[in-house]
Amino acid sequence: MQLFQINRGKFVSTNEEYRIDYVSYNGGASEWIISRKNSTDKYFTALTSAPTITDAKAKYFEIVKAVA
């Protein structure tokens, strides 16, 4: 399932079920959070994270492949 870039820090899957968000924390740390819509379809639940967008995309495609 393809990802579309919404802005510099957000990617969304074609069906809008998954997303990857860039999050920075106090102290300079940051990571990319991969999340999926929960059963209410209102909120997202974090599944995993990655230090780079390349790693995050790889993890995303592993998750999507496992669910399919």
pLDDT in tens, 30-57: 999 999 999 888 899 999 999 999 999 9
Distance CA 35, CA 37 (A): 7
Q: When comparing pLDDT for 42 and 10, which is higher?
A: 10
Distances from the Cα of 11 to the Cα of 6, 26, 42, 48, angstroms? 6, 23, 17, 15
DSSP designation for 57:
H
DSSP designation for 58:
H
Dihedral over alpha carbons 64, 56, 33, 63 (to 10 degrees): 20
Rounded mean pLDDT, 6-27: 94
Q: Please say if the pLDDT value at position 1 is more than 90.
A: no
Tell me the pTM: 0.88
